[in-house]
Amino acid sequence: LQRMAGELRGAGVKRVNISLDSLRPRRFRQLTRHGCLEQVIAGIDAAIAAGFEEVRINAVILKGRNDDEVLDLVDFACRRGIDIAFIEEMPLGRIVEHDRALSLASSDELRASISRRYRLASLGDPAGNAGPARYYSLSGQRSRVGFISPHSSNFCHLCNRVRVTAEGRLLLCLGNEHSADLRAVLRHPRHTLTDLKREIVAAMAIKPERHHFDLAGEPEIVRFMNMTGG
């Protein structure tokens, strides 16, 4: 991101979300398996300098692993005047590092710990753009804190999100495998932009209503988030 921020902004990208689960280099590497904290922070600062309309940090908090950094992460976002969203971990992909049911830090718990330092005021339910985060203002700060709560407060009924993978698959839901193959349309010699638009619109008819995540059972989706993209 450090290298590409200016170009992405120039190409018309308006907002970026950047995952940041820890501010401690060694822990960050453990949580991400290979990530370099310094590089990610440099990317965040480059995104701010490039003038995106919105820069947001996304953090997944796990009990016993990084739940002692909630306030540090909020402070980090406030110092830079950017938003931060806390996302309850979703059971995407098989993992062995922790038990998802035991490590879930719910949005309510996180909100309670943040409100020990900041006065939080709800900015209302997501309406218009139907984003999944429920935002709160933080007293005396430009930054907002959001909570994305797939377990404790399902928001699927508000969702209008779809994602395109690097392989051109239009994924219609994070918690299901329903998809449309846009690459096939793009590569077809006789297909035009109109065909592509038609394929996208037609795909909306099979967008699932909701996920069926069950923390106690096997993950329903074995696809990891890094295969999905944002």
Which residues make up the interface to ligand SF4 (CB under 6 A)?
132, 155-156, 159, 161, 173-175, 208, 210-211
In 143-187, beta strands by DSSP E: 144-148, 163-164, 169-171, 179-181
- Scanning 81-192, the segments in alpha helix (DSSP H) are 100-103, 107-114, 182-187
- The least distance separating ligand SF4 from the CB of residue 67, rounded to whole angstroms, comes to 23
Compare residues 6 and 208 and give the one whose CB is closer to ligand SF4: 208
Compare residues 48 and 156 and give the one whose CB is closer to ligand SF4: 156
- The least distance separating ligand SF4 from the CB of residue 210, rounded to whole angstroms, comes to 5
Check: CB of residue 119 under 8 Å from CB of residue 76: no
Compare residues 156 and 164 and give the one whose CB is closer to ligand SF4: 156
Compare residues 46 and 180 and give the one whose CB is closer to ligand SF4: 180
DSSP 8-state assignment for residue 150: T
Single out the residue of 159, 155, 59 nearest to residue 110, CA to CA: 59
- The least distance separating ligand SF4 from the CB of residue 74, rounded to whole angstroms, comes to 24
Q: Which two tokens stand for residue 39?
A: 């590089």
Residue with the CB atom nearest ligand SF4 in the bound state = 159
Single out the residue of 58, 17, 23, 47 nearest to residue 37, CA to CA: 23
Compare residues 147 and 155 and give the one whose CB is closer to ligand SF4: 155
- The least distance separating ligand SF4 from the CB of residue 120, rounded to whole angstroms, comes to 23
Q: Name the β-bridge partners of 148.
A: 87
- The least distance separating ligand SF4 from the CB of residue 38, rounded to whole angstroms, comes to 31
